[in-house]
Amino acid sequence: MKSIILASHNKHKVREINEILKESNCLNTPVIHGLEYLNFYDEIPETSETIAENAVQKARYIYDLFKVDCFAEDTGLQIPGLQGEPGVRSARYAGEIRNADDNINLVLEKMKNHRDRSARFITVIALYYQNTLYTFEGICEGEITLQRSGTKGFGYDPIFKPIDATITFGQMTAPEKNQISHRKKALDKMIEFIQTNIDLFK
């Protein structure tokens, strides 16, 4: 079984991705490790203008530094009623300290008088394998609720209700979220790639 580094310090993401991979019955399922596996605790620069470029920037940074196969994922919440905000600034929407609660409060405040509450999560995965870059995108459409519901998940989950769902990501169990999420959709594409290029991961 192959292990791959996820260029992230976010333990929620590492856990969620390992859960999704386990549930996917992928052949040769790789095990994902966060950056502590490399004893790397510095911040990775995330200075790009788009979610896709940020994912590539993070993966490239770790690949260049350690020369290991790795992937990065970048996720953003896009709200058309807020001209696509928070978008690429999702983590730092309410300030540099990256506080999820503050970010949620800011979104709810800005959306106070909005009828159009549509929103989407976009995940882009950038995989570096032997100096070759592969990218995979997943989108989950939904809407911003009027208030927080649920305490599960992370980030904006308590105020995001996926289309066709009656509850927010914050109210869903991990398997429920993982069936329909943006991250799952992007990972499915990476898994399909792994399976059709299986030699890469033996």
**Residues in contact with 202: Cβ distance below 8 Å, sequence separation at least 6, in sequence order:** 2, 28
Number of residues that bind ligand IMP (CB under 6 A): 16
Q: Name the strand (E) or helix (H) holding 5.
A: strand 3-6
Map residues 21-60 to x or -, x wherever contact with ligand IMP holds by CB under 6 A.
Answer: ----------------------------------------
Alpha helices in the chain (DSSP H): 11-23, 51-66, 100-110, 174-180, 182-196
User: Could you give the angle at which helices 182-196 and 11-23 cross, rounded to 10 degrees?
Assistant: 60
Residue 57 vs 75, nearer CB to ligand IMP: 75
Question: Is 158 among the residues that bind ligand IMP (CB under 6 A)?
Answer: no
Question: Is 61 among the residues that bind ligand IMP (CB under 6 A)?
Answer: no
Map residues 101-140 to x or -, x wherever contact with ligand IMP holds by CB under 6 A.
Answer: --x-------------------------------------
- In this structure, the strands spanning 3-6 and 31-33 are parallel
Question: Is 91 among the residues that bind ligand IMP (CB under 6 A)?
Answer: yes
- In this structure, the strands spanning 70-78 and 31-33 are unpaired
Stretch that binds ligand IMP, among 24-32, 71-79, 107-115, 125-133 (CB under 6 A): 71-79
Q: Which residues pair with 125 in a beta bridge?
A: 73, 136
| Interface ranges with ligand IMP (CB under 6 A) | 10, 74-76, 90-91, 100, 103, 153-157, 169, 181, 183
